[in-house]
Amino acid sequence: MSSQNSADLLVESLRRATGEANPSLTDSVIPSLLRGIGRTAAALRTAHNVEKAGSENVFGDAQLNVDVLAEQFFREELGACPAVVAASSEEDPVEVSMQSDSIDQEADVYAVAFDPLDGSSIIGPNWSVGSILGIWDGRSALHQDPRKQIAAVLGVYGPRTTAIIAVCVPGREDAAVCIEVGITDATGSCDIIRSDVRLAEGSKTRYFAPANLRAASEDARYMGLVTRYIAERYTLRYSGGLVPDVVHALVKGHGVYLSPVTSGSKAKLRRAFELLPVALIVECAGGQAIDPANGFRILGTPLRDLNETAGLVCGTSEEVERVKAALLG
């Protein structure tokens, strides 16, 4: 199948999910993000010297040269997309207007909240890393019902460049789609790898990814859960990168990702740029994503501030319920 035909099929699938009510989303916004992923992948292939850029983001984290490049690529692509009127990123967590205020108030417009390059700590050893992008229907991601986040994309930079795309429009939840594509070049051209990404119960091989493992030394419940996984012969699949670890479960059809929080191992995942997009994709694939502190759905709480953080448990519903019972009783 040619990339052109595959791109047409992708747009057709996305349009079915929206009922063709959001043409700019399927024809412009998502393609612009795929171009950003393609450009970032091309830069990573030649960025053999991954080094500090001499700058810090607002959270005090040192930026790498590749962080700065990825941020630049996505900003450029979003700035050239007329339907994107606001954007914010983990590197610069302030929602900034991207277009003129003269845009028709009835226009099909979106806000994007993204983490341009997630996994900076594992880029040096050449492990897979990713980009996380959430698309919100309307002019802002803030103070909105989480259902206003109607699409999300996870880009994966590994031996191949792939992306998981999910679209779920309120009132059309039964038509939600979750698709895996392979991105072939810096223009964002893509081939469909899997037209229906689904998490399934009862897998023969069971996977677990225990993030924030330091917390197990402080929380006997988490230590007990990890010990139980080992005793029950679960397969460990954990790289230290949120995107590749979650995508591993989505590709294999089974798995649970755990990142609980304790007083000594505080939450680092940001709701706007990481948790909400990941949760949308996991739920579109038939799984669950919850806050391990209280068991609530990640998508059940409005986004009040771009600096909000929380823990995460996501994966198949059966596994998430098991974690909830173990950590919360």
Q: 245's torsion region: left (phi>0), alpha (psi -120 to 50) or beta?
A: alpha
pLDDT at 294 exceeding the cut of 80: yes
Chain segment 300-313, per-residue pLDDT in tens: 999 999 999 999 99
Q: Give the count of alpha carbons within 13 A of 74, CB side only.
A: 31
pLDDT tops 60 at residue 4: no
**Model-wide pTM > 0.75:** yes
Rounded to 5°, the CA angle 140-85-141 comes to: 15
Is 154 in contact with 278 (CB distance < 8 Å)?
A: yes
- The confidence score (pLDDT) of residue 221 equals 96
Report the C-alpha gap between 180 and 243 in whole angstroms. Answer: 13
Cα–Cα distance for residue pair 214/210, rounded to 1 Å: 10
Pull the structure tokens for residue 112: 């994007």
User: Tokens in use for 17?
Assistant: 């999910």
Average the pLDDT over 220-232 and give the result.
97
**Is the predicted pLDDT of residue 265 greater than 90, yes or no?**
no
User: Could you tell me whether strands 312-315 and 288-290 are parallel, antiparallel, or unpaired per DSSP bridges?
Assistant: antiparallel
pLDDT the model gives residue 8 = 82
Residue 179: the pLDDT is: 97
Domains of the chain: 3-194 (3.30.540.10), 207-328 (3.40.190.80)
The answer, yes or no, to whether residue 113 has pLDDT greater than 60, is yes
Give residue 322's pLDDT. Answer: 96
Averaged over 246-251, what is the pLDDT?
97
Please check whether residue 160 is in contact with residue 153, taking contact to mean a CB–CB distance below 8 angstroms. no
Radius of gyration of the chain (CA): 19
